[in-house]
Amino acid sequence: MFIRDIDINSKKYWNDTYTLKKSTSSIVAYQSLFKIIERYCCVDAISPYCFIDVACGEASGIASIKDSAPLSQCIGLDHSEIILQYNKEKYPKVNFELFDVNSEPIQKLIRPHDLLRYVRTKRLIALSMHSLEHISEYEQHVANFLQWCTYYIICVPYKDYFKDCIEHINYFDENTMNNFGIMNVLVNGNNTNVAEPGIEESIIYILKGKRQ
pLDDT tens digits along 11-57: 666 566 666 565 555 555 577 888 889 988 989 999 999 999 999 98
Q: Which helix (DSSP H) or strand (DSSP E) does residue 139 occupy?
A: helix 138-146
**90, 96 Cβ separation under 8 angstroms:** no
pLDDT tens digits along 110-148: 988 899 999 999 999 999 988 898 888 899 999 999 999
149 phi and psi angles, rounded to 5 deg: -90, 155
| Domain layout of the chain by residue ranges | 6-17+27-184
pLDDT band at residue 5 under the 50/70/90 scheme: very low
Q: Select from 3.40.50.150, 3.30.1330.10, 3.90.1150.10, 3.40.50.720 the CATH code of 6-17+27-184.
A: 3.40.50.150
Whose CA is closest to 23, among 69, 74, 77, 85?
Answer: 85
pLDDT tens digits along 90-103: 999 999 999 998 88
- Report the range of poorest mean pLDDT among 9-13, 73-77, 127-131, 164-168: 9-13
**13, 177 Cβ separation under 8 angstroms:** no
pLDDT band at residue 208 under the 50/70/90 scheme: very high
pLDDT tens digits along 171-192: 898 899 988 878 888 886 554 4
Report the predicted TM-score, pTM, of the whole model to 2 decimal places.
0.84
Q: Is the alpha carbon torsion for 113, 119, 124, 130 positive or negative?
A: positive
Q: Is 81 helix (H, G, I), strand (E, B) or coil?
A: helix
